[in-house]
């Protein structure tokens, strides 16, 4: 069986959950796609004039509630946010950069 990386499904770490994370992915630049419909006050432009999600002075997405660290436009969040896999390679890499070796212990709810 071909086990080359190109045919492997994206690996997910099931111990990673947004409930035990500081929403570090919501510090990344989100490029808006034509099909995205976010409130105009959340639209910013990068140095090349490309539409991106606005960020607050703290570096987090302006749509993130700083008290709850939850997305305030979750149902209408941009396509890039929808595709970002919780516990996937990109998620784990951002967590590793943010937390270093002090990764938070997963919280079990219920
Ligand atoms: S729109 Fe929501 S999910 Fe996307 S970066 Fe902002 S807070 Fe995070």
Alpha-carbon Rg for the chain in angstroms: 16
Residue at 8 is within a domain: no
Per-residue pLDDT at 4:
47
Q: Which residue has the tokens 């035990």?
A: 20
- Parent domain of 63: 14-99
Q: How far apart are CA 1 and CA 42, in angstroms?
A: 47
Residue at 3 is within a domain: no
Among 62, 61, 54, 49, CA closest to 24: 61
What is the SS3 assignment for 9? coil
Which one of 51, 61, 72 would you pick to mutate in the ligand 1 pocket, going by the greatest count of ligand atoms within 8 A of its CB?
Answer: 61
Distance in Å, CA 104 to ligand 1 centroid: 21
Number of domains in the chain: 1
Q: Residue 80 CA: which ligand 1 atom is closest?
A: 4
Pocket of ligand 1 (CB under 6 A): 26, 30, 53, 61, 63-64, 71, 73, 77-78, 81
State pLDDT tens for residues 49-104: 999 999 999 999 999 999 999 999 999 999 999 999 999 999 999 999 999 977 76
């Amino acid at each position: 069986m071909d086990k080359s990386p190109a045919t492997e499904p994206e690996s997910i770490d099931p111990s990673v959950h947004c409930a035990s994370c500081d929403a570090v992915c919501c510090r990344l630049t989100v490029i808006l796609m034509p099909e995205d419909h976010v409130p105009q006050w959340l639209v910013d432009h990068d140095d090349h004039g490309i539409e991106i999600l606005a960020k607050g002075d703290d570096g987090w997405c302006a749509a993130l509630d700083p008290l709850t660290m939850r997305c305030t436009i979750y149902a209408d969040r941009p396509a890039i946010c929808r595709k970002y896999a919780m516990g996937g390679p990109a998620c784990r890499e951002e967590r590793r950069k943010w937390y270093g070796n002090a990764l938070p212990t997963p919280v079990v709810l219920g």
